[in-house]
Amino acid sequence: HVGRGIELLDQVVSNAERHSLSLLLELHAAPGGQSGRQTTGRSDPTWEPSRFDADGALSALRLVATRYNSSRSVVAISPLNEPELSNEVLLPYYQRAYETVRGSGMRAGQVAFVLQLYGLGAIFSLGWAALDSPEGLPAARYPNIIFDLHLYYGVLVPPFPALFDRLASPHFVAGPLVHL
């Protein structure tokens, strides 16, 4: 937790509360990185998945979840932005992250836990089948999880945009829309 990041986040949360805005807080730059892309806070073409520091990421989530667990503006938290990690790494990390967030006072009835399904590979390998399995994060044990189909339509070539327009309908993704 280097720099003024937490002070700036305090200002964002305070302003959101003052103006009745809703926030989704997301860990964009996990310690060690969750990919080598610029969206993790650093661009590193030599990045290796072994650099991901799950314990460091959980520490950052614990700090944020504890600090903002009583904020009326924080309606969701996401443990990683655009991860490029294997299911063998992500599933246990997501389970630990969920327990960390809930154990830090962000209750399931108030704050959603958002998991990104980043890219086609994650949608088809990590998606519902893995996450909703008994070994994953089944809803009965891990309530109020939202799957974010994190796709960039502008970079897809035909016929993919039309296909994903159909797949991304609210009823396909999450059933009827719900109020957070």
177: helix, strand or coil? coil
| pLDDT at residue 179, as a whole number | 41
Confidence of residue 177 (pLDDT cuts 50, 70, 90): very low
Q: In what order do the strands lie in the sheet with 74-78?
A: 23-26, 74-78, 112-118, 145-150
With bands split at pLDDT 50, 70 and 90, how would you rate the model's confidence at 57?
Answer: very high
Q: How far apart are CA 125 and CA 128, in angstroms?
A: 8
Q: What is the pLDDT of residue 178?
A: 41
The confidence score (pLDDT) of residue 152 equals 62
Question: What tens digit of pLDDT does each residue of 119-170 get?
Answer: 666 666 666 667 778 888 888 899 999 888 766 655 554 555 566 555 554 4
pTM assigned to the model = 0.82
More confident site: 62 or 178: 62
Is the pLDDT assigned to residue 21 strictly greater than 50? Answer: yes
pLDDT tens-place string over residues 90-103: 999 999 999 999 99
Instruction: Assess contact for 1 and 62: CB atoms under 8 A.
Output: no
117 versus 5: the higher-pLDDT residue is: 5
